[in-house]
Amino acid sequence: MVGDLPVVDAETATGHVADEATVLTSGFGSVGYPKAVPLALADADRDLALTVVSGGSTGAEVDVNLVEAGAIARRYPYQARPPAREAANDGSIAFSDRHISTLGDAVQFGGLVDPDVALVEAVAVGEDWLIPSMSVGQTPAFVDSVDSIVVEVNHAQPRALGQFHDIYRPDIPPNREPVPLSAPDERIGGPRIEFDPDALDAVVETDRRGDPYDFRDPTDADRAIADNLQQFLTAEVDASPLFEDSVRLQFGVGSLGNALMGALGEADFGNRDLIYYGEVIQDGLLDLLDDGHLDAASATSLALSADGQDRLFAAPERYAEDVVLRPGDISNRPALIDRFGVVAVNSALEVDVYGHVNSTHVDGSRMLNGVGGSGDFTRNGALSIVALPSMAGDEISRVVPMVPHVDHTEHDVDVIVTEHGVADLRGTSPRERSSLLVENCADPAVREELDAYLDSVEPVGGHEPHDLETAFSWRE
């Protein structure tokens, strides 16, 4: 629906964005983000210094075009494009990384930003409602937080995407009750995000698909990691009463996560249902749905490749039977991750011999993308697994004496998986963890050196013995 609404072109809509505005944008998993208005802002002859807050990663129109135009001064909470990454690292953009589950509250209740306008992509809009496109993310909270809304209605995406959405808004504390979701595939809301009709300032019609995810082909290491994970999970499912009726899993976004999802089709979980409860639906989950191996999937984004988008757009009704898209503060909600006993599987840049995990900062300094939702699931999952290749290239070990930046402490990580094996760290002391990690997960080429490091620091004593100078010399 666009009739009887304030329909304007993208250039006119930019008039609702002040030069130093704080802009809340839809988007998560590089889909569902606004396109025409960011491009018009990038092309505008204005001295812009915008603060941009998105639900998750967006596309090139935001994190390339606006960045290269010098239009962004501050960015929250995640970015995944080289220009935005470079600007975050050289300080030309003030970038702040944070967990996803509480982002909506932080925006809506103050303390993070003072928002001016919400810029949202939709497949349909009315005078007081909109239906999101490929992702939900933090859009419901963002829309609730502003007095000015600009909606891009994208005709390149089917209206049937509304069948995926289950929009539920929790109450404001202290009157917030438990989310009434008793199963991952249950629906407790509807397809629409509602708002005050006085807030709708502009509607822009577009016909432009977003940047699809570009998944690389699985490497030999990816396949070996998938095999090790599959064997571990099969044994765990058989042994634990946690999985009596079903197996609930989450995977981090990216090529490795996608490969691990796809490999689950070969896992033997008996007659148990296989259910996904996480952030993103990737191509690997579509494969599992097509093959009848996945019973249900709940997420906040359809982060698909071009082929995956084609498959979904050709038959959205078929996938909507089994797939639910929720707001990010529901998909990542700690209480629900705990309630459903989710097995969290996330990747990382590196791990150290005591089980600390660095997911975000190369050499402890250079930001990659952001912590995203990995902390929400790693901290609150019934079983927290970190899967990663043992080496970066041929010479750089991802198992190191000491990580220079910690996103997930050893308290929150249960299992490490590489192509060489599995280190089950549950119930272990630091010295026991170090032996397991080196023996089972490190590349054979560096095990002797890691063992030598551990032997050399033993006289230092302490709970986690270290020689900082030697530990960080691995960076050389």
Task: Encode pLDDT of 413-444 as tens digits.
Answer: 999 999 999 999 999 999 999 999 999 999 99
The structural domains of the chain, with segments of one domain joined by +, span 10-206, 220-473
pLDDT digits (tens, 9 = 90+) for 4-27: 899 999 999 999 999 999 999 999
Strand pairing category for 399-400 and 396-397? unpaired
Q: Which residues of 398-423 are buried (b: 16+ CB within 10 A; e: fewer)?
A: bbbbbbbbbbbebebbbbbbbbbbbb
Q: DSSP character for 367?
A: E
Q: Is the pLDDT of residue 262 over 90?
A: no
What does the angle CA 213 – CA 58 – CA 300 come to, to the nearest 5 degrees? 75
Please enumerate in sequence order all residues whose Cβ is within 8 A of that of 386, keeping only pairs 6 or more positions apart, or say none.
345, 346, 347, 348, 351, 357, 378, 408, 413, 415, 416, 417
**For this structure, is 439 an active site residue?**
no
Region 52-56: mean pLDDT is 96
Q: Name residue 252's amino acid.
A: G
pLDDT digits (tens, 9 = 90+) for 294-348: 999 999 999 998 999 999 999 999 999 999 999 999 999 999 999 999 999 999 9
pLDDT digits (tens, 9 = 90+) for 364-406: 999 999 999 999 999 999 999 999 999 998 889 999 999 999 9
Q: For residue 2, name the pLDDT band (cuts at 50, 70, 90).
A: low
Q: Is the pLDDT of residue 476 over 80?
A: no
pTM as predicted: 0.95
Region 220-473: CATH code: 3.40.1080.10
The answer to whether residues 94 and 74 touch, using CB atoms and an 8 Å cutoff, is: yes
Residue with tokens 């990995």: 374
The answer to whether residues 229 and 385 touch, using CB atoms and an 8 Å cutoff, is: yes
pLDDT of residue 217: 82
Q: Is the pLDDT of residue 61 over 80?
A: yes
Q: Is the pLDDT of residue 351 over 70?
A: yes
* Interatomic CA distance for residues 68 and 61, integer angstroms: 10
CATH 2.60.40.10 fits 10-206, yes or no: no
Query: Is residue 213 classed exposed, middle or buried when 0-12, 13-18 and 19+ CB atoms within 10 A define those classes?
Result: buried
**β-bridge mates for residue 117, sequence order:** 23
Query: Is residue 367 classed exposed, middle or buried when 0-12, 13-18 and 19+ CB atoms within 10 A define those classes?
Result: middle
Q: For residue 362, name the pLDDT band (cuts at 50, 70, 90).
A: very high
In the set 121, 152, 279, 464, the catalytic residue is 279
Dihedral-angle region of residue 368 (phi above 0 means left; psi in -120 to 50 means alpha; beta otherwise): alpha
Q: Is the pLDDT of residue 271 over 80?
A: yes
pLDDT digits (tens, 9 = 90+) for 114-146: 999 999 999 999 999 999 999 999 999 999 999
